[in-house]
Amino acid sequence: MDRSAAEAGFALDPAQRAVRDRLLVLAEDLLAPGLRRRRPRGLYVWGDSGRGKSWLLDAYFQALPTEAKRRVHFHGFFDQLHRRIHDHQGEADAVERAVASLTDGVRLLYFDEFHVHDAGDGTLLIRLLRRLFRSKVVLLVSSNYAPASLLPNPLWHHIFEPGIELILKNMDTVRLAGPADYRSQQPPADAGFSSGAWIAPGTGTQLQRLGLAAPRGPEPASIRVGSRDFEVTALRPDELWCTFTQACEAETSSIEFLDWTRRFDRFILTDVPSFRDVDPAGQQRFINLVDILSDSDTPAYLTSELDYREFRAGAGDRPDAFRMLSRLQLLQGADA
């Protein structure tokens, strides 16, 4: 991990080194010879956005010399889990079979961006955790939330309390604290999510400078995911254009967003409004979309009448907005 940091042009700070040391202990336990091997406790690493949790755990995951490992992201894993449950529908142990099929041969399961805001997801997560902790799978988690803060809505928090108990019983908890949001210090990238841009107000000239050709007049189009059709602005061989209304105010979900990032090399979202003018469901869809674009490292171009600082000021206290804002500041124009 230190070598990876040096190659990336920085050194681990004291808080990151403390987490590194705990990860190395976990590696020793995972790789111990058969006679010495015991089932290690899992590790739950949490802290504010931009402190290097995902980078540190990704570097650890890549360096761990075993093939019996799997990295999953919250949205992608739940998409796969729901698909596998559907494959076993009608069976009394459908969830057990689905989880087993996703963890077969896995010794370490690294779950990035662990969070719970939906009561239904919380119930399913409890069943998932019970299955994992009964198995030989060791769970490694990154999260912006302390375990006790998961499913923070006070109306529903009690639903996930059994899940919190399971985490605390079976995992060690380490907070990665630090004064700096390192994402705010990163220079623009030449590829991937952060090679995109926040474009205000999104004129044709601004788009052209970024190599984007805005639709000339209406290009009515739709895209099918499963059995459902979704209206979009334009479909190109390598890019998808849609408005905020089409992507986040329609009945879309993470399933569609995951499908779109797999099918297109670039994602252009136009007419992003202030969060003050968007209902909670639309806000959450946008947060999920940014999560998925970032995790898939898909170049994202967002146009808005607001500059990024104006948008940030209106984001409010929506759950997970802090993570969304930390990621959006990677885009060109977000620091203007």
* pLDDT level of residue 189 (50, 70, 90 thresholds): low
Q: What is the pTM for the complete model shown?
A: 0.76
218: left (phi over 0), alpha (psi -120 to 50) or beta: beta
pLDDT digit string (tens) for 45-57?
Answer: 998 877 788 889 9
* pLDDT level of residue 157 (50, 70, 90 thresholds): very high
User: What percent of the chain stands above pLDDT 90?
Assistant: 53
Of 301, 292, 225, 282, nearest to 256 by C-alpha is 225
62 or 89, which is more confident: 62
Is residue 1 within 8 Å of 23, Cβ to Cβ? yes
- Cα–Cα distance for residue pair 114/82, rounded to 1 Å: 17
- For the residues 15-22, what does the mean pLDDT come to? 89
pLDDT digit string (tens) for 109-122?
Answer: 999 989 888 888 89
pLDDT for 10 = 59
Alpha carbon of 113 to those of 95, 140, 316, 330: distances in Å? Answer: 22, 11, 21, 18
Q: For the chain, what is the mean pLDDT? A: 87
Query: 73 in helix, strand or coil?
Result: strand
Query: 198 in helix, strand or coil?
Result: strand
6 or 27, which is more confident: 27
Q: Is the pLDDT of residue 208 over 70?
A: yes
pLDDT digit string (tens) for 306-318?
Answer: 999 999 999 876 7
